[in-house]
Structure 1
Amino acid sequence: MTEIQYRLEQVRRVDGALPGPKSRELAERRAAAVASGVASSVPAYAADVDGGIVLDVDGNQLVDLGSGIAVTTVGASAPAVVAKVKEAVEHFTHTCFMVTPYEGYVAVAEKLAEIAPGDFPKKAALFNSGSEAVENAVKISRLHTGRQAVVVFDHAYHGRTNMTLAMTAKVLPYKQGFGPFAGEVYRVPVSYPFRDPEGMTGAEAARRALLQVEKQVGAENVAAVVIEPIQGEGGFIVPAEGFLPALSEWCTDNGAVFVVDEVQAGIARTGEWFAVDHEDVVPDLITVAKGVAGGMPLSGVVGRAEIMDAVHAGGLGGTYGGNPVACAAALGALQTIEEWDLMARARRIEEIVREELAPVAEETGTVGELRGRGAMMAVEFVRRGGTEPDADAARAVAAECLAQGVLVLTCGTFGNIVRLLPPLVIGEDLLRDGLRVLAQAVRGAAQ
């Protein structure tokens, strides 16, 4: 694999308690200017980010195991991304693709069609956020099928627009007080191996969900079945083998569109271009965002050309969708993934995470499961000796990691998951250092 050169020294360093004085000063300014509904999990303010290090305004160097929630997959300042963004900005920042189109949008659509699974003609449309991509996938599915019902799953997270909030499962903090939400959205059980009946197979879990769809929605009414191949905010839940293929087959048999939300799991995060590639599943439509543009706001829907083309001219779009600078960044990010073999790095990250954390998971008795794929890994905390979720342990571990200069994120319907999303460019020594801090925090919380 390519030897990566970094601008910042890839070493953890914390001088005193966090946040430092400059971060505290910024927090005071923020309190007066920024709406309180916008929250941050880390009180330190970033000044520079490179590789696996976040340098804050007080000079502390924090190990980044979150990647801005899986966005900076290629790093927050990857050279190819920076170069292509600079070049694009020097020419134009915007024309609106719906007014005066440009090559960058076309090139990103071509690349997405190339890497998406499926040996059939594919097309793409570009937007700004993951929520927009998911919502547009629903619009496309409804027009293609002439149906309205959308099937989603327990623990799902699909975004913050009204439509995608209806599709999202967790109430706090996402949905509380924001309703009423869009209709014709139906939720069914997902495959959650750690919490399903012992021995339940993926095929059995799929049948459980699909029977509910058939009895309570009606197969003939379903426009789309939408699922994250590894659930993100819901807890990095990896469904049992066979679950996704069974859903895909049911959609094909019943004329519904199988939509896979790869906003968090896609674009090399799990060691393949897409998480569905691990089971050779071929969706009808895939949504992408987060890691696709190296930190610039870009999202898209890619899939079967005949489905994508179901929408009338002008029915898809948005003023900023497929912004030329963001498209340039995407081409740089996708180039970096290929040239630096970052999918292999993702698989190596999983090996290292399991090496460092599996022993502590076994010895403490407070880790219900260590799970995930590639650089999308999670630790589920439970009360000792059972499966009762322990959100206090997850919060305590995350807080101790932060105090020691390691950034981790929590998630899960029950708030009991610590998730790991390191940039794929993180060095092995720095990754192990961060994971050892995490392991010690797990031991401390178990006591």
Structure 2
Amino acid sequence: MKIAVIGTGYVGLVSGVCFSDFGHDVVCVDKNPDKIAMLERGEVPIFEPGLDQLMARNVEAGRLSFTTDLAAAIKGSEAIFIAVGTPTRRGDGHADLTYVMAAAEEIAQIASDYVVIVTKSTVPVGTNRQVKQVVKKANPDLDFDVASNPEFLREGAAIDDFMKPDRVVVGVQSERAAEIMNEVYRPLYLRDFPILTTDLESAEMIKYAANAFLAAKITFINEIAALCERTGADVKQVSHGIGLDGRIGNKFLHAGPGYGGSCFPKDTKALARIGQEHGLPMQITETVIKINEEVKRRMIDKLLDLCGGSFNGKTVGVLGVTFKPNTDDMRDAPALTIIPALVGGGAKVRVTDPQGRHEGEALLPGVSWVEDPYKCANNADLLVILTEWNEFRALDLKRIAKKMATRHLADLRNIYSVKDAKRAGFDAYESVGRAGFERASEKGND
């Protein structure tokens, strides 16, 4: 089957590469000639483990190609996936559908044979019906169907998520469209991965409901973490205890500096906006958004305490700026709130991240970048762990502590323990939802 994928951002590129690995003939389209030239040279514009090798393999096999020519990509395609950006619209929090509708109109103007136009981008409920109207208006004679096929890819594990999904959700209006989509995902069907076929609106809602629920789990445990700090409980033990309940599960119960990334912030805001438009406020989701911002500010207060009430004149080392490990994505990362507060307070901030520098240099003015955690710690008054990269999980803490001017560690991902920090020679250690040095000493727990 020939497939066209419009958009070579994170979702479009991963989807196109994986579809080609299924055995389909895939053409990825983008209006940016520099990006297409980069892909044709075998260079991947995003960091996603394993994507470069998988892309190269399928290009070499002749199943995957890249172009700026939409007409050439559409010709002979049975399914056209729209995977363009839907950023949060300024002013009202809604998803901006400008690129989706523009792509739909261009498809309509070019296509001549029956095709299924599939929305892969995350879009508000009702968008696919709008896409259908746009296509009909632009080309009343075109024989086509629309389908909704939301993505559920975790950055850093996207290929595995695509190839071994918890489920594939497909929203359609006709049996013909369902048959085409079943053929697209035939390799997964043959391996008994669940393919859930729904109506258009349900498919669109599933995506938003899933992300809002996961964001709520993260926010819940972060709120519990704050209470643990007041009561002397340990949030890691609490998370483990409640996660053993099969009705709850242990995923997304890790306390930290708040959620970020390309999905949760954008999708929770969009869901809240959808609720408002339909006269039914999503009160839980709106509260999740509010609390997540408060969590980031609470982290700033922790750092301020460790700096004696003022950042002015302090040297602070920061380990990690991306919103999670194994990605170069900094969209809505906690670092974008926390680091500007440090710089604005007069701190000299030194940063290291295995993949974050390319985006971070533009997003974080006023910081200096170094190659490794040990240089980051040199003569620092405070060291902050913001992203739980594997490279930061087994540091020589004694070496780190010896390099610092003031041996204070803020472990905002709970990678280490009070015992680890004390043994290494730190004079102060703070994490999230657990006792710091003073309280641990009072309770005789070292």
Q: One fold, TM greater than 0.5?
A: no
Larger RCO, structure (CA 8 Å, separation 6 or more): 1
Comparing both structures, which one devotes a greater share of its residues to helix? Answer: 2
Could you say which structure has the larger radius of gyration? Answer: 2
